[in-house]
Amino acid sequence: MAATDTEAARIIYPQPGFQMAALSTPADIAIIGGGAGGGKTYALLMEASRHRFNKDFGAVIFRRTYAMVTNEGGLWDTSKELYPMVGAKQGDLEWKFPSGARVSFAHMQHEKNMFDWQGTQIPLIIFDELTHFTKKQFWYMQTRNRSLCGVRPYVRCSCNPDPDSWVAELIAWWIGEDGFPILERAGTLRYFTRDGEMMIWGDTPEEVLEKAPHLFEGELAATRPKSLTFIPGSIFENKKLLAVNPEYLAGLMAQDETTKAQLLEGNWKVKVDGLALFEHPRLSDLFTNLLTQPPRPRRYITCDAAGFGKDFTVIMVWEGWEVVQIVVDRKTAPRDIYDLIEAQRRKWNVAESDVLVDQDGVGGKVFAFGRGYKGFSGGAAPMVDPITGKPENYKYLKTQCYYRYSDRVNAATTAVRVDDYTVEIDGSRGMKLKVGGKETNVKELLKADLKAVKRAKTDAEGKMHINSKAEQKVMLNGRSPDFGDTAMMREWFELQPVVKQGFMKRVN
């Protein structure tokens, strides 16, 4: 980015390449970005200032949380470098230009926050890091993208690669099988409409109309499909950053191959954020691992009981370290949950003392019926290592179990069998279910739960933590990580020492 020094012609220039392409596209919706350091933030801020001479123009730039807007060196701080250069006056997370045009910064942490924007009309909507937002938030805000100021309403978004996000599915046409953007397709406009949850694409508006004529009948006959494009960026096109801070590129090049593929080269098939407990490839391996077990391995049952709302009762039956049965139900009455457990306990011949129920909540009342069951309390103190006999450096039992389970998943020494024969949902066999009105399956829910569990900062005592359940629920759109918690609880049995022949042994 460069700027003239004269007051009469203070113009902000995009850099050639990525920034120029991002600011030149006529698409109704443009998604820009890829690798780190490509100049995405400046491109979005320049776009928001494009119509600063229009007194009725307004733009809103969204980040998922308030902290993401105001973090040191983040979006808001960067705007302070740019907007005063063109005469804007700073307000409370807002810039006002001499004409009266405004650019506001806002967050949308919870999905329900999108309804705070009912009744608004926003000519330009910008999502910074689109993969942090939910699909529902994105599409709902399209209804707020309207204009009476003479500027055609449009949307701009930035993102880094996230292979498991809904954004990856949205821009799949622009991404190759190897995960890298198809350069020949970069910036190409495609046209679309939505029939429920299904996207209908075409290379021209006419092709979309031909594919979905039923959506453009009657009063909608004059409506035209919207256009969307994806424009990948690279740090090598950000000459200003490389000149000012060449060490940034050196830092990216010093990363492992997976991290470099994502952050330096913009690969959409890998994901690394530095906080994940569970390695991304191992989450897929979890459902295909072939374990060699001794004859008739010991069987266990773990259960996370439903509380209310979006929570599920999840029951997993284990043979050694292999999940052989999953029961999912929305029942919340303790007696009903007990009956579900007992049905599986008898079917699989599991001892009562090998049944573990989360006792923090509804599960605590299940013990009124299953008196031989064991109780799991995630907030309890961690247990000693059963092999060394020494305390482990975790703050809570739940943290300890999650770290241990992530080690096991990452080492491919555990497996989950998920198919239409091993899963039962609300009394019927099959692995598909609806969550938030969208059809998904148990495998995807378990993977999402485990991905939502992140490392957190150690405390003043040096104890290790994971992120809070509230933070996990934000990533899961309000749903509790019932499937992940049920799997994690299996580690409790490994931490139980038993006395046998005068010495302590680890339970296997």
Q: Over the stretch 455-487, which tens digit does the pLDDT of each residue have?
A: 998 888 889 999 999 889 888 888 899 999 999
Give residue 34's pLDDT band: very low, low, confident or very high (50, 70, 90): confident
pLDDT of residue 311: 77
Q: In percent, how much of the chain has pLDDT > 70?
A: 85
The rounded distance, in Å, linking the Cα atoms of 223 and 217 is 9
pLDDT of residue 244: 54
Higher pLDDT pick, 74 / 171: 171
Give residue 498's pLDDT band: very low, low, confident or very high (50, 70, 90): low
pLDDT of residue 2: 40
User: Which segments of the chain belong to CATH 3.30.420.240?
Assistant: 284-506
Q: Mention every residue, 6+ apart, whose C-beta is less than 8 A from residue 264.
A: 35, 36, 235, 252, 253, 255
pLDDT of residue 30: 96
Sign of CA dihedral 203, 206, 209, 211: negative
pLDDT at 224 over 50: yes
Q: Taking residues 379-396, what's their average pLDDT?
A: 89
Helix (H) or strand (E) holding 298: none
pLDDT at 102 over 70: yes
pLDDT of residue 499: 46
Q: Count Cβ neighbours within 10 Å for each residue of 396-426 and write b for 16 or more, e otherwise.
A: bbbbbbbbbbbebbbebebbbbbeeebbbbe
Give residue 505's pLDDT band: very low, low, confident or very high (50, 70, 90): very low
Tokens (6 digits) for 210: 């031909």
231-278: pLDDT as tens digits: 988 656 555 554 555 555 555 555 555 566 656 566 777 665 567 787
List residues bridging with 455 in a β-sheet: 466
pLDDT of residue 506: 42
Tokens (6 digits) for 170: 């949205």
184-221: pLDDT as tens digits: 999 999 999 998 888 999 999 999 999 988 888 888 87
The secondary structure of 399-441 as a DSSP string is HHHHHHHHHHHHTT--EE--STTTEEETTEE-SEEEETTEEEE
The rounded distance, in Å, linking the Cα atoms of 46 and 370 is 63
The rounded distance, in Å, linking the Cα atoms of 54 and 150 is 9
Tokens (6 digits) for 365: 């009342």
User: Which segments of the chain belong to CATH 3.40.50.300?
Assistant: 14-251
Helix (H) or strand (E) holding 374: strand 374-376
pLDDT of residue 271: 62
Q: Taking residues 99-105, what's their average pLDDT?
A: 95
290-318: pLDDT as tens digits: 776 566 789 999 999 886 555 789 999 99
Q: Taking residues 380-387, what's their average pLDDT?
A: 89
Mean pLDDT over the full length of the chain: 85
**The CATH number, out of the four listed (2.60.120.590, 2.70.70.10, 3.40.50.300, 3.90.1150.10), of the domain defined by the range 14-251:** 3.40.50.300
**Domain 284-506 listed as CATH 3.30.420.240:** yes
pLDDT of residue 154: 96
pLDDT of residue 239: 55
- CA distances in angstroms from 492 to 20, 264, 419, listed in the order given: 55, 40, 26
Tokens (6 digits) for 450: 């485990």
pLDDT of residue 5: 40
The rounded distance, in Å, linking the Cα atoms of 236 and 17 is 10
The rounded distance, in Å, linking the Cα atoms of 485 and 220 is 48
pLDDT at 90 over 90: yes
Helix (H) or strand (E) holding 32: strand 29-34
Sign of CA dihedral 352, 370, 384, 306: positive
pTM, rounded to two decimals: 0.56
155-177: pLDDT as tens digits: 999 988 888 889 999 999 999 88
pLDDT at 114 over 90: yes
267-284: pLDDT as tens digits: 777 665 567 787 766 777
